[in-house]
């Protein structure tokens, strides 16, 4: 049986329970051997809109999030490659590294809506099956003409944007990020949180 690998890309600034619930449920639903949370080096579609936490810090947070989670791993290919992060390039690299593996690109609904604007998206379709994560009972409206495979997972209404707003105005983040991620954020003093301030 060829290995089945899911590629779940994101900025993960920071990674939250919505990302994790998605990764473990898609892995289960599609019987994937592993899901790589691929940390974008330079999320070109977000550039200029806001300051982005350094890739190395975001990767450390994703490491903390997936430690001890079977079958979910951090992907470093985009950070190691440097420059703007294009999924088409990442898939080509994974196809080389895991020869014969079957690749699945996993996207949330907002990412799916923008899929036709991705750099060389036809290559993404050639190299992988694109999985769109749907909320139970309310499938999202998607651009037409793309052979999506839809997987239902519990959809948690949490976004990194909301989490960053919570950090800045002091609202609680408990249960929206896992405690190892929160500890790592404090340790590294990210999002204006310091270890001293948190005590």
- Burial label, 49 (beta-carbon count in 10 A; 0-12, 13-18, 19+): exposed
Q: How many CA atoms lie within 13 A of 111 on its CB side?
A: 20
d(CA 99, CA 107): 23
Residues that bind ligand ATP (CB under 6 A): 10-13, 18-19, 22, 107-108, 110-111, 133, 155-156, 158-161
Q: Which is nearer to ligand ATP, 2 or 46 (CB)?
A: 46
User: At its nearest, how many Å lie between ligand ATP and the CB of residue 37?
Assistant: 9
Q: How far is the CB of 3 from ligand ATP (least distance, A)?
A: 22
Residue with smallest beta-carbon separation from ligand ATP: 108
User: What is the closest distance, in whole angstroms, from the C-beta atom of residue 106 to ligand ATP in the complex?
Assistant: 7
Least distance between ligand ATP and beta carbon 199 (Å): 28
Q: Compute the least distance from the CB of residue 117 to ligand ATP, in Å.
A: 14
Smaller CB separation from ligand ATP, 2 or 116? 116
Long-range contacts: 108-115, Cβ < 8 Å, 24+?
108/22, 108/132, 108/133, 109/133, 109/134, 109/135, 109/140, 109/142, 112/140, 112/142, 112/143, 112/148, 113/140, 113/142, 113/143, 114/45, 115/143, 115/146
Which residue, 110 or 169, has its beta carbon nearer to ligand ATP? 110
Nearer to ligand ATP, 155 or 184 (CB): 155
Q: Cα 145 from chain centroid? A: 24
Within 13 Å of residue 96, how many CA atoms lie on the same side as its CB? 7
CA 43 from chain centre, in angstroms, equals 12
Q: How far is the CB of 111 from ligand ATP (least distance, A)?
A: 4
Comparing CB distances to ligand ATP, the nearer of 130 and 193 is 130
Rank residues 22 and 90 by Cβ distance to ligand ATP and give the closer one. Answer: 22
């Amino acid at each position: 049986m060829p290995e089945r690998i899911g590629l779940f890309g994101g900025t993960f600034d920071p990674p939250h329970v919505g990302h994790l619930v998605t990764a473990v449920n898609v892995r289960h639903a599609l019987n994937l051997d592993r899901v790589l949370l691929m940390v974008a080096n330079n999320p070109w579609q977000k550039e200029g809109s806001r300051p982005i936490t350094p890739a190395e810090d975001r990767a450390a947070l994703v490491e903390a999030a997936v430690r001890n989670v079977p079958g979910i791993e951090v992907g470093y290919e985009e950070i190691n490659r440097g420059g703007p992060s294009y999924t088409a390039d990442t898939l080509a690299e994974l196809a080389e590294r895991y020869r014969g593996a079957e690749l699945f690109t996993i996207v949330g609904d907002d990412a799916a809506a923008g899929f036709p604007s991705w750099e060389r998206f036809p290559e993404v379709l050639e190299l992988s099956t694109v999985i769109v994560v749907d909320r139970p009972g309310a499938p999202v409206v998607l651009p037409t003409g793309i052979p999506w495979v839809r997987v239902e997972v519990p959809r948690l209404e949490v976004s990194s944007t909301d989490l960053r707003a919570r950090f800045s105005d002091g609202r609680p983040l408990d249960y929206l990020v896992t405690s190892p991620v929160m500890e790592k954020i404090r340790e590294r003093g990210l999002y204006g949180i310091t270890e001293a301030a948190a005590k």
